[in-house]
Amino acid sequence: MRRFASLLMVMMLAGCGSSKVETPTAGEPEATGAAPAVSKETAEAVTSSVSPTSPTPARPATDVTVPLTQLRPPKPGAIVKTPVELKKEEWQLADTYKGKVLQATGVIANLGQADDGRTSVQLKTGDGFIDFISLQLKEKQSWAALSPGQTVVLQGEATTGEWAAFEWDVIQVGPNPTPVLTAKDLAKEFAKNFSASESRYRDQRIYVDGTLEEVFKDENDTIYFRVGSDEGITIQFIIDFEYTFKGIETRLKPGVRLAGLGLVKYIDEEARQITLEAMPIEGAFPVKGVTYASELPTLAQRIQQLAESVKAKAPELTITSQQALNELNTNRSSYAERYSNKWVDISGVIKRFSANSSGSACAI
* Amino acid identity at 49: S
Answer yes or no: CATH 2.40.50.140 is held by domain 69-174.
yes
pLDDT by residue (tens digit) across 221-249?
888 999 999 999 999 999 866 656 777 88
DSSP letter (8 states) at residue 141: -
pLDDT by residue (tens digit) across 179-214?
999 999 999 999 999 999 998 999 899 999 999 999
**What is 178-294's CATH superfamily?**
Nucleic acid-binding proteins (2.40.50.140)
pLDDT for 39 equals 44
Q: pTM for the whole thing?
A: 0.71
HEC-encoded secondary structure of 261-319 = EEEEEEEECCCCEEEEEEEEECCCCCCCCCCEECCCCCHHHHHHHHHHHCCCCCCCEEE
Query: What residue ranges do the domains of the chain occupy?
Result: 4-27+301-363, 69-174, 178-294
Angle separating helix axes 194-201 and 183-192, nearest 10 degrees: 130
Secondary element (H or E) of residue 320: strand 317-320
Domains 69-174 and 178-294 share a fold: yes
pLDDT for 220 equals 82
pLDDT by residue (tens digit) across 112-124?
876 666 788 999 9
